[in-house]
Structures are given as structure tokens and as C-alpha cells.
Amino acid sequence: MSRADTTERELTAGLFLGSSTTQAYRTAMEQAHQAVTDVYLERATPYSGRSPEQLAFEDREMLPEEGQGLTATIESVAQTVVANSVGTSHPACVAHLQCPPMIPALAAEVLISATNQSLDSWDQAPAATVLETRLIEELADVFGYGDDADGVFTTGGTQSNFMGLLLARNRVLDERFDHDAQVDGLPPAADSLCILCSADAHFTARQAAAQLGLGESAIVSIPTDEHHRLSIDALDSTLTELADSDRQPFALVGTAGTTDFGSIDPLAQLGARAREHDLWFHVDAAYGGALALSDRHREKLRGIETADSIAVDFHKLFYQPLSCGAFLLRDGTHYRYIDRNAAYLNPESDDAAHLVSKSVQTSRRFDALKPYIAFRTLGRDGFGELIDYTLDLATAVAERIEDDPAFELKHEPTLNAVVFRYRPPTDSEEAINDRIRDRLRADGTAMIARTTIDGETCLKFTLLNPRTTVDNVEEILTAIKRHGMALSTGERTEYTRGTKR
């Protein structure tokens, strides 16, 4: 008898899902859940304060010769990795667009990974393919698209922005140059192509230009107005200048929610300019797209329905765990610009819907199940209220900062990002805002972000968490002043790691 016959039971004991291993599965999941509840959620501070050097795991073999068993491994991961992970659900974790994941989506993750459907072809994910398709239809409707719309779930804004610009590039080469970029690559004339976006657009527009063979120099950056929105006057004069040059704009990227300020470009006006100048209009709504669910704030997205394509992220203001985004296309027939058939996945003879042809990925997770479960659980109203709360919180925090002479508010928040500076009582300390942020992380008090405006370092709160209150933020502001005072007077402060606040 071969080894394959005799040792099957021993080889797989407790490793794979089956009717005989349900207990092993439950035990493993229970231990993982306990690591979350007992180690991660019980921690008093949003970070342990450990430095990269302290996290080197030098005593740990990554691939030991002999297995240590699951129980011991999870236990050690809980103490070393989970204990030193950023507390994304902690009310004082207010740094980046990294959301506290909501519980319905965490339950969805269990179903997604256990069933392991792959969204590339229908036969690998029958119900999942249909559900994702239906959800895309519904989302298209939420953003004001009609019945011709299409789209696909993505890893996030980076991939969705890439897809928008990929379709835009292939379309312009087809329509203006009668050139098939899919087959023949870039023609010499592609040197003249350029993409317009605001100076505050996400860096992934530039990255996509590079990846698409147009080069970063294909980006024409339009100045912003005093609210950090793309300036229409500047756009108009740029379009006039370009018309007299040998450069050809083919795409216009609008941003609905810039990463730093949450600013929303004047989308309706951008849409009108795009139509007038035959530009593909892509809206990067990775951050601000969630406003579509808010009765109070939806109006801020007016004009998004005129976009040829939209990027929206569910792992930001929709509170889904990473990663989860969508790419939406106003006219689904535009997918023809990236048509591709693999005989074993989506042969031309096959009528079934194979989502591989709508994505730049092949094997793909069933991430659509997360927002589906969350939407069904909360409804539009429930989501809208969460979003409204965090926008109100940002307004309240901005007022509080403005009233305090120790701070300088840098803008009125549009979404839930608040950018400000600590004003040192003396000019002695140059990098004081940077150092305050580092100290808050090191003593575990709060995770906050920094950004640079006109060469000046500023601090940033991204108030995504609906469990964060004005009082929580008040405590962070007090800590900022305490550190700021200590740093600017050169006084030594003693601070203890991980003390309960």
C-alpha cells in the first residue's frame, strides 16, 4: 500500500473542514475569538507603544522544522502579534482611513473564508457571482447610474482608480487613433496623452499613469481652491492652454473626499467639462462615496452620476474589514476595452456570467458578502446615521480646536478629517508637531496622523469611529498640549507605557 492510502487520517487530523472535524474547527475559532476579546479588546490603549526593533520576533522561527500545534501557535500570536497590533476599534485610534470593522462584517469574513468561493468563474462561485452582480446593480443605482451600468468588487481605491484609467486609456486610443492597446500596446502618439486631476488627488492616479505606460509626467496637476477642491477656473485655463499645445487630455479625475481634508471636488462642473472636452470622467470616491447613504449629506456628491467610472471603498467609511472596494462603470459596454477570454475560465462559447472578464484579478475573494450582510443588517438608514454621527463629531471637534489658542485649525471639515497644528508657546521647537505625534504613539495615549501643508507639519484626526466621542477627543487634545508644553519648554516628562486612562 502506498503512503497516500495508509496515512490519510493521521495526515489531515483536525486540519480540513469536514463533518468529522466540526469540533476542531470550533475550538480553533473559539481560541482565535478569545485572542480578540481577551487580548486585543481588553487593552487600555490603542497601541502597545513597541518600536519596530522591539517587534523583531528574533526568537521566533518563521518556518520551524517541526510544527508546534495550533493551540500553542495561536497563544503565541495573541501575545506577540495581536497584543502589538493597532487598536483599530479603540476610540482614540483616530489616525488614518483605517476603520473599526463592524461586527456583521466580521461574521461575514468567517463565511467568506470557510466557503472560499472564487469570483473569477461562475462554476467556482455560483451564488456569490449572482449576489455580487446584484449588489453592483444596487450600488450603481445608489450613485445615480442607470440600467446600463456595470462594475466589480476590487481590493480598493488603488485598483479601482487603475481600472478607470485603464479603460479611459484604451478607449481614447481606440476612438481617436483607431488603435487597439490590448493587442498592440502603446502607439507613439500615446506620448501626447495626459490626465487631469487636482493637486490634492490621491497619489494612485499618478501611479496608474506610470503603470499604464504613460509615465507620471502624463499627470497635469490642477491647483485647488481655498477649500482644497479642484479649482474650476484653473481647470478652464489649463484646458485652454492644452488646446494650443501638442498634448491631448483624455481623462479627468475628480476626488470625492481627499485623503487629507476630505474635500469634494465640484463634481457636476467637472462632469460638464469632461463632456465638453471628450474626457473620461473618473471619480475617486474611495473615501467620500459613503455619503451616498446619508440623507443629510448625499447632496455633496451631486454630479457623481455623470462620471464614466467611480471608485468606492467599503473598508473606510463603510466599516468593512480590509479589503473591500468596488469599481463602477456607467456604461457597461465599455468593458469591451479590456475584453479577455481564457479558454478554461470564460470561453467565448459560454454564456454564463464569469466575472473574471470585469476584473484585473483572476482568483478573487467574495468580499461583496461583507457589505451585503452589513447593508441587510443595518439598512440604508442605519448606515446613514453612523456616517452622519462622525461628520457631526468632526464639526464639533473642529469648533473645539478653533476655540483653543493652543491650536490652529487648518480647515473646516467636509467629511470627518480634521487638520490642525499645535502652536508652541515659543518658536524654539521646529518639529514639535511631529514629536508630539510620536510621543502619543509611544505612550499609547492615541494614534493620530500627520500631514504637511505648505511645508508645515500638521496633525490630523480621521474621526471614522462612531464610538469615539467629543470627550475622547478632548482627552487627546489635552495630552497634545501636555506633550507640546513639555517639549517646547525642554522639560523632561516621565510617561509610563500602557497606563490605563
| Chain residues in the site for ligand PLP (CB under 6 A) | 97, 156-158, 161, 202, 204, 255, 257, 259, 284, 286-287, 313, 325
Minimum separation from the CB atom of position 198 to ligand PLP (A) = 11
Question: 121 vs 158, which CB is nearer to ligand PLP?
Answer: 158
Q: What is the C-alpha to C-alpha distance for residues 471 and 99, in angstroms, rounded to an integer?
A: 20
Residue 124 or 158 with smaller CB distance to ligand PLP: 158
Compare residues 118 and 204 and give the one whose CB is closer to ligand PLP.
Answer: 204
Nearer to ligand PLP (CB atom), residue 171 or residue 202: 202
Closest approach of ligand PLP to the CB of residue 348, in Å: 32
Query: Shortest distance, CB of residue 140 to ligand PLP, whole angstroms?
Result: 19
Closest approach of ligand PLP to the CB of residue 220, in Å: 18
| CB of 108 or CB of 256, closer to ligand PLP | 256
Which residue, 279 or 290, has its beta carbon nearer to ligand PLP? Answer: 290
On whether the CB atoms of residues 106 and 321 are closer than 8 A, the answer is yes
Q: How far is the CB of 158 from ligand PLP (least distance, A)?
A: 3
Residue nearest to ligand PLP (CB): 156
Q: How far is the CB of 179 from ligand PLP (least distance, A)?
A: 29
Q: Nearest 5°: phi and psi at 343?
A: -55, -35
**C-alpha closest to that of 254 among 275, 288, 230:** 230
Q: CA geometry: angle at 449 spanning 443 and 451, to 5°? A: 135
Strand partners, 154: 325
Rounded least distance, CB 230 to ligand PLP, Å = 13
Q: Give dist(CA 384, CA 393) in Å, integer.
A: 14
CA-nearest of 363, 349, 476 to 420 is 476
Residue pair 110/271 in contact by the 8 Å Cβ criterion: no
CB atoms within 10 A of CB 51: 9
Three-state SS at 198: strand
We find the least distance from the C-beta atom of residue 99 to ligand PLP, in angstroms, to be 11
For ligand PLP, the closer CB: 97 or 418: 97
**What is the phi-psi region of residue 455: left when phi exceeds 0, alpha when psi lies from -120 to 50, beta otherwise?**
left
Distance (Å, rounded) from C-alpha 86 to C-alpha 265? 32
21 burial (CB, 10 Å; 0-12 / 13-18 / 19+) is middle
Answer whether 209's CB lies under 8 Å from 165's CB: yes
CB of 191 to ligand PLP, least distance (A): 27
Work out how close the CB of 46 gets to ligand PLP at its nearest, in angstroms, rounded to a whole number: 20
What is the secondary structure of 282-295 as a DSSP string? EEEETTGGGGGG-T
Residue (204 or 445) nearer to ligand PLP, CB: 204
DSSP 8-state secondary structure symbol assigned to residue 93? B
The span from the CA of 328 to the CA of 139, in Å, is 8
**Minimum separation from the CB atom of position 440 to ligand PLP (A):** 23
Closest CA to 375 of 135, 154, 166: 135
Choice between 133 and 255, CB closer to ligand PLP: 255
Q: State which residue, 367 or 443, has the beta carbon closest to ligand PLP.
A: 367
Which distant-in-sequence residues (6+ apart) come within 8 Å of 165 by Cβ? 195, 205, 208, 209, 212, 251, 253, 280, 282
In the complex, minimum distance from the CB of residue 285 to ligand PLP, in angstroms, rounded to a whole number: 8
- Comparing CA positions, the residue from 405, 397, 479 lying closest to residue 436 is 479
Written as nine digits, the cell of 415 is: 467629511
| Grid cell listed for 60 | 521566533
Query: Which positions ≥6 away from 127 have C-beta within 8 Å?
Result: 117
- Least Cβ distance, residue 152 to ligand PLP (angstroms): 14
Q: Which is nearer to ligand PLP, 158 or 306 (CB)?
A: 158
Which residue lies nearer to ligand PLP by CB, 310 or 458?
Answer: 310
Q: How many residues does the chain have?
A: 501
Q: Which C-beta is closer to ligand PLP: that of 99 or that of 432?
A: 99
- Backbone Cα Rg of the chain: 25
- Phi, psi at 129, each rounded to 5°: -60, -45
Nearest in space to 111 (alpha carbons), one of 374, 328, 319, 317 = 374
